[in-house]
Homo-oligomer: A and B are copies of this chain.
Amino acid sequence: MITTPEDYIESLRGLKKRIFLFGEEFEDYVDHPMIRPSLNAVAMTYALAADPAHAGLMTAESSLTGQRVNRFTHLHQSTQDLVDKIKMQRLLGQCTACCFQRCVGMDSFNALDVVTYQMDQDLCTAYNPRFREYLAHVQRQNLVVDGAMTDPKGNRKLPPSQQADPDLHLRIVKEDTDGVFIRGAKVHQTGAINSHEILVMPTRSLKAAEADYAVACALPADAEGLIYVVGRQASDTRKLEGGKIDVGNYRYGAHEAVIIFQDVFVPWERVFMCREYAYAGSLVELFAAHHRASYGGCKVGVGDVLIGAVQALARVQGTEGAAHIKDKLVEMIYLNETLYACGLATSYEGRRSPSGTYMIDILLANITKLSVTRFPYEIARLAQDIAGGLLVTLPSEKDFDHPEIGPLLRKYLVGSDQFPAEWRQRLLRLIENITLGAGGVGYLVESMHGAGSPMAQRIMLSRLADMDAKEACALKIAGLVDGGA
């Protein structure tokens, strides 16, 4: 069982994966400077669980094994579990200022448990026990599992079966007595390389003609036929420069990857949906709802770091007392806490599903996410307002280290003389990271598109809001139905 961050890092060394980055294949991803910060962020999920100050929040008693397990592998057994999830996510955001990557797996487990249970009820299949056996293994080993949902999708106007290339959505291309073979790709796979396991799910609701696309299954992250291609991020290569300042967030970060599945084999005991196309939509919806709610925790934690950085920088620059600076900080707090309030309400209003696993309130989850597609952008804009132009004109740390110009830069780019220029450098670089750098990938664009783009949330709202009940209230007040004036 993996307990410490060190255990975790060592455990990955045993997994040999095919990984490409900048046109080259490389093996030692654990120590690769482009990957290591994201691995450190995942490691924090172990470190905090091992820290007595946080163990209560970070772990839970497993409904499967009765053991204390990392909450990221847990099936939520109460609304308190759902609330603790949000609080755990905020904590981790505060400790890493980036995406810590383990939520997608957790949210996938909880969605799959409910849907496999439903399938078993409806179809007399036995997916749920099979899935739970797998999950108990994950819990016992304390594994990191990448939830792989998003297909490339090709031409957005067309469903899977009508794409020019049928592989643009992942599908079963063959099956035999031992298992199935899958082909396709999954994109936007945050933290994929840091995972022990890949948990594949369909990307959308499906029709009968698209049954081959209805597949959910788990496979080891080093399964034969898997290829990982790491995506680029803003300012990504600052991680390769060797310094600690310009990178903004030296220790932590995240990565995304395209995973290509070249007719990869999955044994039956790891298959949790196989052509039951009618359940694909429900699985996507439940996963998305969980994951939309998650952003009401993690992004709030990153927001805390950004607010704190801005407050510290204002002090360094001598602007902390200006009324408009204070007011902008209040606005940032307001926006950030609104996200949190929505995340919490989504959890508190959760309900037990038939499998015993708790589901959050889906309507409120979509409300939460819709704010997440907006507020971090405004928080970032306000941060840039307070930070000042030096945010994007500051010379490199190597210039600050240069024997001739270093002293000149420190002389001229100091703020209040209470703080060395390095404080200003580091705080500006951190704010740059979150609002216009690698951290902005997670804080902004992922806030927009993670767990579905805003239009997906709007569609859910139009479906879930009880418009008939609202109309009935209005008609009654307007005197247009019985009991009216």
Q: List the interface of chain A (C-beta within 8 A of B).
A: 20-24, 83, 94-97, 150, 152, 154-158, 164-165, 167-168, 184-185, 187-188, 227, 229-238, 244-246, 249-252, 256-258, 260, 304-309, 311-312, 317-319, 321-324, 326-327, 329-330, 333-334, 337-338, 340-342, 344-346, 348-349, 363-364, 367-368, 370-371, 373-374, 377, 381, 384-385, 388-396, 398-399, 401-402, 405, 408-409, 411-417, 423, 426-427, 429-430, 432, 436-437, 440-441, 444-446, 448-450, 453-455, 458, 461-462, 465, 467, 469-475, 477-480, 485
Given contacts A94-B473, A436-B445, contact A462 B409 (CB under 8 A): no
What B residues does A423 contact at CB under 8 A?
A: 480
Q: Which of B317, B385, B415, B465 contacts A333 (CB 8 A)?
A: B465
Given contacts A155-B415, A345-B342, A448-B385, contact A309 B478 (CB under 8 A): yes
The chain B residue with its CB closest to the CB of A462 is: B330
What B residues does A437 contact at CB under 8 A?
A: 234
Main secondary structure on chain A at its contact with chain B?
A: helix
> Which 6 interchain pairs have the tightest Cβ spacing?
A23-B398, A308-B470, A250-B485, A308-B474, A389-B449, A309-B474
Are B453 and A388 in touch, CB under 8 angstroms?
Answer: yes
What B residues does A450 contact at CB under 8 A?
A: 389
What B residues does A414 contact at CB under 8 A?
A: 152, 154, 165, 168
Given contacts A157-B321, A312-B475, A414-B154, contact A187 B432 (CB under 8 A): no
Are B156 and A392 in touch, CB under 8 angstroms?
Answer: no
What B residues does A345 contact at CB under 8 A?
A: 340-342, 344-345, 348
What are 29 sample pairs from A and B whose C-beta atoms fall under 8 A apart? A23-B402, A24-B398, A83-B348, A96-B477, A154-B415, A157-B319, A229-B395, A231-B395, A234-B392, A251-B477, A256-B393, A258-B393, A305-B474, A305-B477, A308-B469, A309-B477, A323-B324, A326-B462, A329-B462, A329-B467, A330-B462, A337-B363, A338-B338, A341-B342, A344-B349, A377-B381, A384-B449, A388-B453, A427-B480
